[in-house]
């Protein structure tokens, strides 16, 4: 399938740059495949389309402030986007400018609070980077890092928690599972009161979110793997629902 078949015009002024104060008042489009109808609602109306006994599967990954800015020893500016913790203090990263960051290059962040060295150039141009620091790595990231917003968002994010779901739990994502951003504690409570079960998976969103499609057909595009985890209790909820013929609705990156 040619990727040009997915092209459509989207005026930039229609792309919201800041989140609504109330998450669940975002727009929701309901597509009924059987009736071939489209309805325009607000997200909190999702409760009307779920039935008692349904299982809602959500991704409880937590986005890390993965975009950090530093300097080479020459004083040149550098940008890192942390993608995956390989082991210990070694991470896979997207680096800019890539053609200037060779093996052995050292970078300093926030006046030495965090330091890094390029130790390997990986397939696809990402870098394997080893970090050095005093203290706790995640606390340092919280202090100096920025949320890795999509490239079409140009406004600064004033509150980091607005790029997290309200049920985010386990650190590891380089981007948010965006469909889940619109849930509120009140809406989730309402779903449970209606008899809808909640199951969790933890899938850390990675490099595939940031990599543009540069080939002519979908089949040629290289899909990158992502790490996921699921607890036995959540497997049991999902398997029981399947056995009993109940619906399972997955909260995916931008659709349910």
Q: What is the pLDDT of residues 207-223, one digit of tens each?
A: 677 677 888 898 888 77
Q: Are residues 156 and 57 in the same domain?
A: yes
Residue 139 shares a structural domain with residue 162: no
> Do 139 and 164 sit in the same domain of this protein?
no
Which pLDDT belongs to residue 184?
Answer: 96
Mean pLDDT, consecutive 10-residue segments, the chain of 256 residues?
89 88 92 92 95 96 93 91 91 88 92 93 89 93 89 82 93 88 96 97 81 83 83 97 96 63
CA gap 48, 191 in Å, rounded: 9
pLDDT at 152: 82
CA 157 remoteness from chain centre: 15
Per-residue pLDDT tens digits for 105-151: 999 999 899 999 999 998 878 899 999 999 999 999 999 999 888 87
| 7 cis-preceded (ω within 30 degrees of 0) | no
**Same-domain pairing of 78 and 117:** yes
List the domain range (segments joined by +) for residue 176: 3-11+23-63+152-250
SS3 state at 154? coil
| The pLDDT of residue 105 | 93
Judge if 36 and 73 occupy the same domain. no
- Which residues, in sequence order, are CB contacts of 78 under 8 Å at separation 6+? 69, 70, 71, 72, 95, 96, 97, 101, 107
Say whether both 86 and 168 belong to one domain.
no
By three-state DSSP, how is residue 41 classified?
strand
pTM: 0.84
Domain shared by 200 and 130, yes or no: no
Which of 144, 167, 194 delimits the end of a domain? 144
Q: Which of 144, 166, 183 is the last residue of a domain?
A: 144
Domain of 165, CATH number, reads 3.40.1780.10
Q: Could you tell me if 56 and 103 lie in one domain?
A: no
Q: Taking CA 199 as the corner, what is the angle to CA 236 and CA 202, rounded to the nearest 5 degrees?
A: 105
What local confidence, expressed as pLDDT, does residue 187 receive?
97
Domain identity same for 176 and 229: yes
Q: Residue 207's pLDDT is what?
A: 67
Q: Are residues 88 and 47 in the same domain?
A: no
HSE-up (13 A, CA, CB side) for residue 103: 4
**Residue at 255 is within a domain:** no
Q: Is residue 83 part of a domain?
A: yes
Co-location of 54 and 118 in the same domain: no
* Nearest CA-CA partner of 66 in 80, 46, 48: 80
Is 16 part of a structural domain of the chain? no
3-state secondary structure of 226: coil
> Which of 122, 144, 166 is a domain's end point?
144
Query: How many domains does the chain fold into?
Result: 2
Output the CA–CA distances (angstroms, integers) from residue 232 to 39, 157, 236, 237, 248, in the order listed.
Answer: 37, 36, 6, 9, 17
List the CATH number of the domain containing 71.
2.40.10.240
The predicted structure's pLDDT at residue 210? 67
The predicted structure's pLDDT at residue 155: 83
Q: Are residues 98 and 131 in the same domain?
A: yes
């Amino acid at each position: 399938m040619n990727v040009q078949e997915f092209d459509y015009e989207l005026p930039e002024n229609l792309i919201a740059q800041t989140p609504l104060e109330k998450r669940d008042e975002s727009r929701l489009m309901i597509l009924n495949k059987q009736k071939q109808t489209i309805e325009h609602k607000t997200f909190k109306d999702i409760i009307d389309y779920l039935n008692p006994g349904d299982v809602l599967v959500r991704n409880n990954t937590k986005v890390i402030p993965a975009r950090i800015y530093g300097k080479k020893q020459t004083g040149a500016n550098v940008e890192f986007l942390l993608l995956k913790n390989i082991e210990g203090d070694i991470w896979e990263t997207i680096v800019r400018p890539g053609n200037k960051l060779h093996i052995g290059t050292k970078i300093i962040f926030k006046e030495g609070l965090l330091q890094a060295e390029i130790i390997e150039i990986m397939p696809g141009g990402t870098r394997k980077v080893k970090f050095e620091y005093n203290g706790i790595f995640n606390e340092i990231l919280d202090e100096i890092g920025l949320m890795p917003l999509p490239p079409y968002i140009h406004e600064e994010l004033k509150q980091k928690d607005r790029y997290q779901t309200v049920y985010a739990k386990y650190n590891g994502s380089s981007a948010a599972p965006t469909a889940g951003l619109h849930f509120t504690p009140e809406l989730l409570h309402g779903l449970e009161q209606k008899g809808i079960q909640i199951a969790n998976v933890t899938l850390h969103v990675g490099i595939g979110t940031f990599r543009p499609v540069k080939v002519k057909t979908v089949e040629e595009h290289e899909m990158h793997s992502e790490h996921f985890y699921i607890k036995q209790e959540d497997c049991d909820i999902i398997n029981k629902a399947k056995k009993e013929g109940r619906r399972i609705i997955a909260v995916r990156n931008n659709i349910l």
